[in-house]
Amino acid sequence: GDSVTQMEGPVTLSEEAFLTINCTYTATGYPSLFWYVQYPGEGLQLLLKATKADDKGSNKGFEATYRKETTSFHLEKGSVQVSDSAVYFCALRGGRGGTASKLTFGTGTRLQVTL
Amino acid sequence: ETGVTQTPRHLVMGMTNKKSLKCEQHLGHNAMYWYKQSAKKPLELMFVYNFKEQTENNSVPSRFSPECPNSSHLFLHLHTLQPEDSALYLCASSGWTGGSDEAFFGQGTRLTVV
């Protein structure tokens, strides 16, 4: 079945440092890939997505590129802020047109940014 | 505002109580989901509804009973829960037109079973 593997956290960075959170996946067919973020006490919010190979999703300074050859979707940001402290989830959604539309999540990576 | 509203935000219940969680979306989505988020464990998909029909039940104990009266509303009825059922319960909705549709999540109900 489908699966998502994320790097273990927590990740602790100083403000303005470069961020990478690794994500690799296993899926049949051509899944869509997502990064969600969960701030303390909140539900999950979509951060960015990519729907086909070589697509780059981006939002709020975060980027991730859909790499089919390495089955990866690593999250990056050039300069993190304290307000980026949250838990980040990589996810995939397989299926074609109305089937197998459930999201499969990674375990989440907690990011802590300090001054 | 995510478009998906869950009530209550917090719930404390005894093991013999019966309570219900409510989820509502006005995004025009056809699919709705219940997820369980426990500390230090992956997000667990519990139930999936598509056009009011249950399409997935991930071996969830019968003390959790979902109900989807229409595409905009989803309930999770709880009875005789155990302390290990304490968790954040997240509702989500999405379109059903293809795999590229992202899911929109509510803020969750923090459930504590005492």
**Which residues numbered 34-53 in A keep a CB inside 8 Å of some CB on B?**
34, 36, 41-46, 49, 51
Q: Does B98 touch chain A (CB under 8 A)?
A: yes
Question: Which pair of tokens denotes residue A83?
Answer: 């307000």
Average pLDDT over residues A19-32: 92
pLDDT for A101 equals 62
Do A44 and B31 make contact, defined as CB atoms within 8 angstroms? no
Question: Which pair of tokens denotes residue B22?
Answer: 């409510």
Average pLDDT over residues B40-45: 84
CA B40 to chain centre: 19
Give residue-wise pLDDT tens across range A86-110.
999 999 987 554 444 678 899 999 9
CB B105 within 8 A of CB B84: no
How many other β-carbons are positioned within 10 Å of the β-carbon of residue A48?
A: 20
Q: Does A102 touch chain B (CB under 8 A)?
A: yes
d(CA A86, CA A41): 10
pLDDT for A100 equals 44
**Which residues numbered 48-77 in A keep a CB inside 8 Å of some CB on B?**
49, 51
pLDDT for A97 equals 47
pLDDT for B99 equals 55
pLDDT for B100 equals 60
pLDDT bin (cut points 50, 70, 90) of residue B57 is confident
What is chain B's mean pLDDT, rounded? 90
CA A77 to chain centre: 12
Query: For chain B, what percent of residues have pLDDT higher than 90?
Result: 66
d(CA A67, CA A11): 23
Do A103 and B103 make contact, defined as CB atoms within 8 angstroms? yes
pLDDT for B74 equals 97
B13: distance to nearest CA of chain A, Å? 20
Q: Output the DSSP codes for A47-115.
A: EEEE-STT-EEEETTEEEE-BTTTTB--EEESS--GGG-EEEEEEEE--SSSSS--EEE---EEEEEE-
Residue B2 has pLDDT above 60, yes or no: no
Residue B68 has pLDDT above 60, yes or no: yes
pLDDT bin (cut points 50, 70, 90) of residue A60 is very high
pLDDT for B55 equals 84
Higher-confidence position of B71 and A47: A47
pLDDT for A77 equals 98
Q: What is the dihedral of CA A7, A8, A9, A11, to 10 degrees?
A: -40
